[in-house]
Amino acid sequence: MTLILGLMFCGIITGIFTGKYPVVTRLNGRLLNLAIYILLLLLGIGVGSNEKIIKNISSLGSEAIIISLGAIAGSVLVSRLVYRIFFHPR
C-alpha cells in the first residue's frame, strides 16, 4: 500500500511540473488508454483461463448483468448528484 501511495504522490508531483506542456498531456492520455487496454486484455485472459467461470458462465451471466446494471445506475445517480452540488451553475 505504501508503494501505491508513493507512486501516486510521485505522479501528482510529476503532473504538476509537466502538465503545462500539451505534448506531455497528450502522450499521457495515449499511454493511459494503452495501459487500460492491456489490463482489460489480461483480465479477459484471467477469466478465460478460469475453468470454474467458464463452466458456470450461463448462470453467472444473468447475475453479472444485474450487478452491472446496478453499478451503472449507481454511477449515473452519484455523478449527477456530484455535478449538481459542485458544478451546476447557480
Q: Show Cβ contacts of residue 48 under 8 Å, excluding neighbours closer than 6 positions.
A: 54
- Reported as a single tens digit per residue, the pLDDT across 16-56 is 999 889 999 899 999 999 999 999 999 999 988 998 888 88
Provide the domain count of the chain: 2
Same domain, 12 and 23: yes
- Reported as a single tens digit per residue, the pLDDT across 45-72 is 998 899 888 888 777 778 888 999 999 9
Distances, alpha carbon 74 to alpha carbons 7, 60, 61, 65, 86, in Å: 29, 21, 20, 14, 18
Same domain, 32 and 75: no
Same domain, 49 and 20: yes
